[in-house]
Structure 1
Amino acid sequence: MHDDRSHVQARLQRFTRERLAPAVYPDFQALRVEHWSVPDEPVPFAEAVDHEYEATPAGWTWGRAWSSTWFRISGRLPEGWSPQHTEIVCDLGFTADRPGFQVEGLAYRPDGSIVKAVSPRSHHLPLDAAVIGADADELTLYIEAAANPDLAGEWTFAATPLGDKQTAGDDALYRLGAIGLVRRDETAWELLQDIQVLSGLLGELPQDSPRHHTIVRGLERMLDVVDPDDVAGTAALARETIARLLASPAHASSHRIVAVGHAHIDSAWLWPTRETIRKVARTFSNALELMERHPQFVFAASSAQQYAWLEQHYPELFARVREQVQAGRFVPVGGMWVESDTNMPGGESMIRQFVHGKRFFRERLGVETEEVWLPDSFGYSAALPQIVRGTGNCWFLTQKLSWSQVNQLPHHTFWWEGIDGTRVFTHLPPADTYNSELTPAELLHTERNFKDAGAATTSLVPFGFGDGGGGPTREMLAAAERSRDLEGLPRVEIAAPRRFFTDAEAEYPDAPVWAGEMYLELHRGTYTSQLRTKQGNRRSEQLLHEAELWAATAAVRTGEPYPYDELRRAWENVLLLQFHDILPGSSIAWVHREAERDHARIRDELTTLVDRSLAALVGTGSTALLANPMPLPASTPGTAGGVEAFAIGTLAEAEASATWERRPDDGWVVDNGVLRAVIDGRGRVVSLVDAASGREAVAPGGAANRLVLHRDTPNEWDAWDIDDHYRRNATPLDAEAPESLEVQTGDDGSVTVVVARSFGASHVTQRLTLAPAAPALDLELVIDWHESQKLLKLYVDIDVHADVTAAETQFGHVHRVTHENTSWEAARFEFCAHRWVHVGEPGYGVAVANDSTHGHDARRTPRTGGGRSTTLGMSLIRAPRYPDPVADQGSHRLRVALRPNAGIRDAVAEGYRLNRAVRRVTGDHGAAALFDIRSATVVAETVKLAEDASGDVVLRLYESAGGRGSVTVTALFDATGCERTDMLERPAGERWDASRTTLELRPFEIVTLRYRRPAGEAAASTGR
């Protein structure tokens, strides 16, 4: 009787471990190793090669966290060893089962050219003439080794000081392993790859299948044939014995997999961006080395920023990448500056990700990307399909949704429909990973997991170790070749993503539709973690808007040169900081410290640009900033849809002042004739009534400014997650009277009630301000935060019977139900909103706007006296311990506005009011706006000069209310014509007279208009 599967596999594993694997490298010759430890930050090769090196003892313990050490490796090729069959193996102290997240190295030839990287699963280095030297015996290599700490630590999520160079300490992290020459037995290596595939397939097959029995017998025969004492002499015969097992073709109905070489590289995460630059060089050099030896290999990499870093820091490597891009083997994908978060960046930022990303790929690499590549972002905004298609893309790929805790999307290939109705062909690889090794287990999981089987036959699998793990390996390519057409496995073809998408769309044009956001049922804490980084992003977006507006106005009105280069640099820095582990707050302390520094620098640079433009406009006049302006009425000339976005003119001054009076319970009543607020003796807003409706906005027994402290101990990922059990541990902060409660009056006629409280080790002050004639109550929170694993939420109890909420997203809003009838609604217990949330019932609603809060929840609440009301929660600040143990500690300032009797248009107006300053300009040029825009719901989002430095003026509009919108735009400057463009400012066909253009927009439609200017005037303002 023949051995069953378990017996054969046990025999096979021992043979592989004890005989075959050692036979791959039968001979080893140690090399001389010397080192130089870099005293501070990394240095280039040209500096390192000239330093003095000292001898390195065997087993040397080296590398304090984040340091770099250069190793010089030298020696002679032993007599009789052929360079073609000899390699250098280099163990810097690797942990083999953790590619990435540890020490990494990059090898250089003596002339400074790069060989490849060394990493746990790819630690070999080939020999060539440049390495060996002129006499064909001496060889020299330099390896830059990065002692990056393992902050993932088997995902134990423990707080650690290693996440910042300033706190990491000086302890050595690694012990140097073997470094030397080895002879490689190619036949033994090929036999090892044969066995890996067949053994892996055997482990997945039903034991009663014919294929199972065939493989068992075949492997048995191979083990009988090969001589364990002479593997080298019998390996060829062993391969012949199992050749027919590998030649048996796949079934005609087998699933088809397009395997794409890939290495997901987070632009920052458990390392700073300076280390990402080196990770890119290591990974790309590995891909290039594989291309030299494997003609079928294709490698796809996203993020224009990473290519730009390569061009700046490794020009020789970039030139080699560009050659392979032209050959179609190194494939830029995604078209974005980075793989950004898509929940929190503003609409214009999402467009600029593609404007800057696609421009780099087009100008520097000569390619036009068409697929959006976001495998790892934490959920996908419902506004994306329109932005994807509007920036010249056809397809969308993600992977992260496979991480959802409760529900899985019902399809892997489908049409994704956005809030405006635009659809984009979308694929979620059923492999459930973007780091596949192409093992039989992974390939068969892909086939079995594919939800569209029967209607479609093809899926995509990205393969390769990411984040510095080395990318694809020659072992993966061997697995792909053996799985190309193999019975029992899906068919595997290595190709570019475009190949998959064109084939899949042609095969499945009537794929099903998923409408709305693609919500990730995980990582909900990323809407809140690292508040300063999020505030910096919001402020930077606002300043970019303002800088472009005023620079365009100054260029057109005065001929002031438009600051193209300064704006481009600022945008690209902001876009980098929107990466999906920076803006979400899920990176180490070092990353967020640098993000705060960069946002501060961006603020200063953009403020200088604004001031320069205003100085040109003002001339001999004056300028004033209205810090808390009211939205302008739609009929005001020069305004944008009732929102202040492009108002340049006079603002009506309020004449009346707000009033206040004391209540018997030591509370206060504040009234400005438009809105009346009651604050009780505990500092709670217990009543909010607008004069127009006379209706109470605050739910009976509730308050509009409740602060509650929650325990926040996620099941796994600290900075990433908020789990729903946080609700069950809540401490109200307004149960007692506050430390102080006082009224202040402002010179502008406003009244402010100041409420101060202490809790734990922290302190919070609420400033409740009612300005003259204002329809909204402003709430400023100043928080001195020193908690650990706590979540502070602001709750607004609204006397509205709301079935849905409307939350702003890019260029529109998303409706979300307030019930939890199904697992889908229950899992969406925390959602992302931009500048406002509207809670309404027919005929009445309340708008809650913010200046820096993204995490929200909305719940139905039983109403005192019957019926129900709605409670809106706002997640203000968290205190996670991993990966940054001091996240969010310190002082913070946030603003919220509560506007009763508000519609969607009012919510939009409040969002703009809290987030954008209105400047009143008088003087030589200040009275003339560039556009007169008339619409009830269409908002002008952006005014700028065209990206191509032509001097043309670009205006971007969108319909904000979710209905049909009409807008009339009149250019108030000399323009020769107006045309509609795509979001990249390329002609889209329609043209109009520049003086007056009337457009009808569908719900949430984005429109980009380009105004051509007379050549002389345009040239004068470009500064080029």
Structure 2
Amino acid sequence: MHDSSMRTQERVERALRERIRPAVLCAGVPLEVTVNHLPGEPVPAREAIAGEFRPARAGERWGPPWGTSWFHVTGRVPAEWAGGHVVLRADLGFSGGPGFQAEGLIYRPDGVPVKGIEPDNTELLIAERAAGGEVVDYYLEAAANPPVIEQAFRPTDLGDVRTAPREPLYVLTALELARTDETVRALGHDVEVLLGLARALPENSGRGREILRVLAHMLDELDTGEVADGAARARETLKPLLAAPADHGAHRISAVGHAHIDSAWLWPIRETVRKCARTFANVTALAERYPELRFACSQAQQYAWIRDAHPELFARIRAAVAAGTFVPVGGMWVESDTNMPGGEALARQFTQGQRFFREEFGVTCREVWLPDSFGFTAALPQIAALAGTQWFLTQKLAYNEVNRFPHNTFWWEGIDGTRIFAHYPPVENYNAELTPADLAFAADRFTESGAAERSLVAFGHGDGGGGPTAEMMERALRQADLAGSPRVEVRTPAEFFTAAHAEYPDAPVWVGELYLESHRGTYTSQALMKQGNRRSEHLLREVELWAATAARRGLAAYPYEELERLWRTVLLHQFHDILPGSSIAWVHREARETYGRVIGELESLRDAAQRALAGTGDRELAFNATPHAWAGVPALGAAEAGDDGAPVAVTREPDRIVLDNGLVRVSVDGRGLVTSVLDLTAGREIVPAGTAVNLLQLHPDRPNSFDAWNVDEFYRNRVEDLTGVESLDVEGAVVRVRRSFGSSSAVQTIALAPGSRTVEFGVEVDWHERERFLKVAVPVDVHTDRATAEIQYGHLTRPTHANTTWDAARFEVCAHRFVHVGEPGYGAAVVNDSVYGHDITRTAHPGGGTYSTVRLSLLRAPRYPDPDTDQGVHRFGYGLVCGADLGAAVRAGYRMNLPRRTLRGAGPIEPEVVVDDPAVVAEAVKLADDRSGDLIVRLYESLGARARATVSVRTPGAAVETDLLEDPRPGGRSFAAGDPVVLELRPFEIVTLRFAAGGDDE
């Protein structure tokens, strides 16, 4: 860059910083201020306003971490300000940018919220043209949220109100009335955009040199007097520059207002409610000033919070939705993780979200909106399409550490072949500010340039920063059609996707998961989040199944309200910083307590429904909630408990313990490790020579950044095999091994049930390590270069080699209930009851060939953002299924997570639903959400093959195929009452059937 250009840029920047922007503030007068410091948690506005206030002033310290102070400000607009533009200006002691520090919300005296206050949103309009003498009377709720993000990658005690210090964090800087010069403010916007554009253009750009020449001339004129006196003339000087139209073929930016608000992260859930109120108040106020604003807002949960906490604000949102300025998007209850939630849970994210948006706004969202979730399951395209959406957006692929994702606009194909139109914005930022640098970066990074011409930019401060600002809207207006800049149109996501699809219908296709090459540690961090989620999901399945069965037989009322509330609680905790374990200690402490309550309530509902079905009697009944028959108990039904097979023989020899049930023989050596698993039916040894199953392994775990989020591949460079034994005992048919390591201990169990081909393992770990990673290894003697992992409504096959950088980057993966490895003619599965993180590797045999090792990731111990992550006692269950094909893996995974439960009753209970093809799994049996009494049965093909299945219902009525929202699918299948319900399913197809209420009431 030429020295003269550099000097001109420096001159303009200094003038903007030191002369123009300060001149916006013409005069200020202090307000009368009193304060009510709340001693504990926040309270409703009317309660706080009714409290005791004492005098306060600027310069006073306030706000211990997580505390709340209410400031009452009163005054009058000076008479001499008549005709002027007057604002209330508030500075709570801000330092740095928006979000992650103090925030405020201004209320009227009647407790109605008006506007949020954040570092880039410090003004409340009092009068555009003041009459003079106007009375000012407001309350400001100030939240002393600590700057936790400044502690990044270091342990902090600020992450929980119970451990944070109590000294005040902030100094009240200003609460005053100010008269502002809007002409000077507009000049500042002009100069900022032009200077930014000159910097974004190529070094030798004629347009850039022209801009700098005119800006320098403008400053020459402005320097002759006060900025206010010359502002209008200066704007006239710059007008030709701003009027020059954009170049032919300039990239098109669809600018969408946005405020990404994590439903919990570096703050607790209760604070998210307040962040939403502040931001939504800002947006509705901004929309009144800029009717061209289009603000995309996802997460039905956040709307529900505002509806319940601030009905007046929610009414403003409703009006803005009707006017088109406030745009519900995403159709999900929260912006959830999509790796770990089960299939039915992901479906319910959409059914609960879409139903809320329909009921409250009359809107069905058409796009999946997940800018920040940590990778995306290959099951999502089909789930999303069945929920009424046709487009998908994420920004998170910018976090890939190795491979740049090759497309910005593309078709995404899921495991069943469903495709949705997808966009990954090249701006690589979901909190953009619409600066010329943002726009130039987006245009430069757009990979489809030449074939397509448009991308989306989400602009606005997130996470409590207040969303879009007037400054951003002014940039959008100036860059709508500006020479040297991409064209900017403020549009809705639907308008963008419609236009993008029309111009690029033949976009490239990406098949399979959108694996994020980062944040792999979230499959493991905060293990109790994973266990609470898995247990809750399966209990919800059971409650719906047994309650629907009981209700259809007139034995008990269906618990609609309870199930909706519990589902929504579980869905909230699947948010992409709660379930993944990447929030502060406070969030996870509360989540553990919530999961405990949810599980307890679900167990009570399950027990009540089962007791109603069992009736009175003394026969021992076994309830089976799995989709497959199990030891004489029908699928989704109950029968008399019977004998599972011959007892297990246990032999204790000098150097080993042997368990044998006639199908499998297991040898445990003196270290408590399984050195042999002999499949007696196949006559095949499963454990590779020289290895051991159920080997605990400990690694150092110090990622380069994002401690709770990331596992970096170099953790593998060092490993400690935990082979020391404190005791080795046999209790019945269970081998129990006690070990100690570091500051921790573990008790492992090895068991073999009668008639079972699954070797069952359990481990209880009293975990007190720091920055270490605990895994358990299960080597399997099969030669393969791939592994099959269960995902939602099916499975995904991934390479286990590292041929390409894409393969190598996938060194830690997510799986649900099973991982299967096999070669033609033989395979094995590793199943689990609460684990998601896995790695699967290949090792060469000394004599030739390879074997596979499946490792389950049990525990981590990152220090940030929760310094005590996972400290304490944890229990895990897993198993090795011998001679398993994919069908056996599916069945074993369900059985481990839905164990049979026995109680006494009158006699066997006929299943409400029977599916005759074991490949077709009944994932949900429930009553319809509309409370019609209709029966909903959701099924999927589980093996990746075509299937033909007959679905029988005990009390049949007419049946129709629906979408996930339980509405008839256009062109869907239908069956008259009494006709057989026969389905032809493609691989991994999801089918939802709605059976009309009817039948007997016995």
TM-score by length of 1: 0.95
Which of 968, 973, 995 pairs up with 1:990?
973
Alignment check: 8 A CA contact 1:623 1:919 kept: no
Alignment check: 8 A CA contact 2:524 2:860 kept: yes
Aligned residue in 1 for 2:248: 252
Confirm whether residue 574 of structure 1 aligns to residue 570 of structure 2: yes
Alignment check: 8 A CA contact 1:701 1:864 kept: no
Q: 1:612: Cα distance to partner? A: 1.9
Confirm whether residue 698 of structure 1 aligns to residue 687 of structure 2: yes
Structure 1 counterpart of 2:58, which letter? A
User: 1 CA distance for matches of 2:963 and 2:580?
Assistant: 29
User: 2 CA distance for matches of 1:450 and 1:36?
Assistant: 52
Matches within 5 A, 1:471-510: 471-510=467-506
User: 2 CA distance for matches of 1:325 and 1:832?
Assistant: 38
Alignment check: 8 A CA contact 1:103 1:146 kept: yes
Q: 1:791: Cα distance to partner? A: 0.5
Alignment check: 8 A CA contact 1:709 1:732 kept: yes
Q: 1:637: Cα distance to partner? A: 8.1
User: 2 CA distance for matches of 1:623 and 1:39?
Assistant: 58
Confirm whether residue 660 of structure 1 aligns to residue 650 of structure 2: yes
Residues matched between the structures, number: 998
Q: 1:143: Cα distance to partner? A: 0.2
Aligned residue in 2 for 1:421: 417
Confirm whether residue 871 of structure 1 aligns to residue 853 of structure 2: yes
Aligned residue in 1 for 2:984: 1000
Q: 1:936: Cα distance to partner? A: 3.2
Q: 1:925: Cα distance to partner? A: 7.6
Q: 1:624: Cα distance to partner? A: 5.7
Confirm whether residue 758 of structure 1 aligns to residue 740 of structure 2: yes
CA 1:625–1:580 in 2, change beyond 3 Å: closer, same or farther? farther
Structure 1, unmatched stretches of 5+, are 640-645, 746-750
User: 2 CA distance for matches of 1:168 and 1:137?
Assistant: 42
Partner SS state of residue 445, structure 1: helix
Which of 983, 1004, 1009 pairs up with 2:993?
1009
Which of 452, 460, 465 pairs up with 2:461?
465
Aligned residue in 1 for 2:86: 86
CA 1:629–1:675 in 2, change beyond 3 Å: closer, same or farther? farther
User: 1 CA distance for matches of 2:428 and 2:618?
Assistant: 60
Structure 2 counterpart of 1:953, which letter? L
Q: Deviations over 1:340-394 (max 9, x none)?
A: 0000000000000011000000001111111110000000000000000011111
Alignment check: 8 A CA contact 2:622 2:640 kept: no
Alignment check: 8 A CA contact 1:570 1:602 kept: yes
User: 2 CA distance for matches of 1:901 and 1:228?
Assistant: 89
Q: Deviations over 1:476-534 (max 9, x none)?
A: 00100010000111000001101001111111111110000000000000000000111
Aligned residue in 2 for 1:642: none
Aligned residue in 2 for 1:711: 700
User: 1 CA distance for matches of 2:943 and 2:495?
Assistant: 39
User: 2 CA distance for matches of 1:596 and 1:633?
Assistant: 34
Alignment check: 8 A CA contact 2:79 2:132 kept: no
Alignment check: 8 A CA contact 2:79 2:133 kept: no
Structure 2 counterpart of 1:469, which letter? G
RMSD: 1.9
User: 1 CA distance for matches of 2:833 and 2:302?
Assistant: 31
User: 2 CA distance for matches of 1:163 and 1:258?
Assistant: 37
User: 1 CA distance for matches of 2:447 and 2:775?
Assistant: 39
Q: 1:630: Cα distance to partner? A: 10
Confirm whether residue 437 of structure 1 aligns to residue 424 of structure 2: no
Structure 1 counterpart of 2:97, which letter? R
Which of 657, 660, 683 pairs up with 1:671?
660
User: 1 CA distance for matches of 2:947 and 2:224?
Assistant: 79
Confirm whether residue 918 of structure 1 aligns to residue 900 of structure 2: yes
Partner SS state of residue 638, structure 2: coil
Which of 575, 579, 585 pairs up with 1:583?
579
Q: 1:55: Cα distance to partner? A: 1.2
CA 1:13–1:951 in 2, change beyond 3 Å: closer, same or farther? same
Alignment check: 8 A CA contact 2:76 2:136 kept: yes
Aligned residue in 1 for 2:274: 278
Aligned residue in 1 for 2:316: 320
User: 1 CA distance for matches of 2:855 and 2:310?
Assistant: 48
User: 1 CA distance for matches of 2:828 and 2:13?
Assistant: 67
Aligned residue in 2 for 1:289: 285
Q: Deviations over 1:648-704 (max 9, x none)?
A: 224541241101212332x21111101100111111101101111011111111111
Q: Deviations over 1:166-224 (max 9, x none)?
A: 11121111111122111110110000000110100111112322101211111111111
Partner SS state of residue 566, structure 1: helix
CA 1:325–1:420 in 2, change beyond 3 Å: closer, same or farther? same
Alignment check: 8 A CA contact 2:155 2:865 kept: yes
Q: 232-241 or 647-656: which moved more?
A: 647-656
Structure 1 counterpart of 2:775, which letter? K
Aligned residue in 1 for 2:146: 149
Structure 2 counterpart of 1:658, which letter? V
Structure 2, unmatched stretches of 5+, are none
Aligned residue in 1 for 2:807: 825
Partner SS state of residue 200, structure 2: coil
Q: 1:618: Cα distance to partner? A: 2.1
Q: 1:620: Cα distance to partner? A: 1.3
User: 2 CA distance for matches of 1:767 and 1:82?
Assistant: 82
Which of 931, 945, 951 pairs up with 1:963?
945
TM-score by length of 2: 0.97
User: 2 CA distance for matches of 1:575 and 1:185?
Assistant: 48
Q: 1:762: Cα distance to partner? A: 0.3
Q: 1:233: Cα distance to partner? A: 0.8
Q: 765-774 or 25-34: which moved more?
A: 25-34
Aligned residue in 2 for 1:892: 874
Alignment check: 8 A CA contact 2:628 2:918 kept: no
Aligned residue in 1 for 2:766: 784
Partner SS state of residue 336, structure 2: coil
Matches within 5 A, 1:837-856: 837-856=819-838
User: 2 CA distance for matches of 1:713 and 1:32?
Assistant: 52
Aligned residue in 2 for 1:683: 672
Alignment check: 8 A CA contact 2:750 2:760 kept: yes
Matches within 5 A, 1:28-107: 28-82=28-82, 85-95=85-95, 97-107=96-106
Q: 1:981: Cα distance to partner? A: 0.8
User: 2 CA distance for matches of 1:390 and 1:207?
Assistant: 50
Partner SS state of residue 148, structure 2: coil
Q: Deviations over 1:988-1017 (max 9, x none)?
A: 231114543121211111111111123x97
Q: 1:151: Cα distance to partner? A: 0.7
CA 1:526–1:623 in 2, change beyond 3 Å: closer, same or farther? farther
Partner SS state of residue 443, structure 1: helix
CA 1:828–1:136 in 2, change beyond 3 Å: closer, same or farther? same
Q: 1:631: Cα distance to partner? A: 8.8
User: 1 CA distance for matches of 2:573 and 2:202?
Assistant: 49
Structure 2 counterpart of 1:663, which letter? E
Q: Deviations over 1:588-619 (max 9, x none)?
A: 11111111111111112112211221222222
Q: 1:784: Cα distance to partner? A: 0.3
Structure 2 counterpart of 1:978, which letter? A
Q: Deviations over 1:114-142 (max 9, x none)?
A: 2201100111111159x99x994331111
Which of 195, 202, 217 pairs up with 1:221?
217
Aligned residue in 2 for 1:981: 962
User: 2 CA distance for matches of 1:236 and 1:135?
Assistant: 25
User: 2 CA distance for matches of 1:334 and 1:446?
Assistant: 23
Q: 1:264: Cα distance to partner? A: 0.1
Partner SS state of residue 223, structure 2: coil
Q: Deviations over 1:760-799 (max 9, x none)?
A: 0100011001111211110000100000000000011111
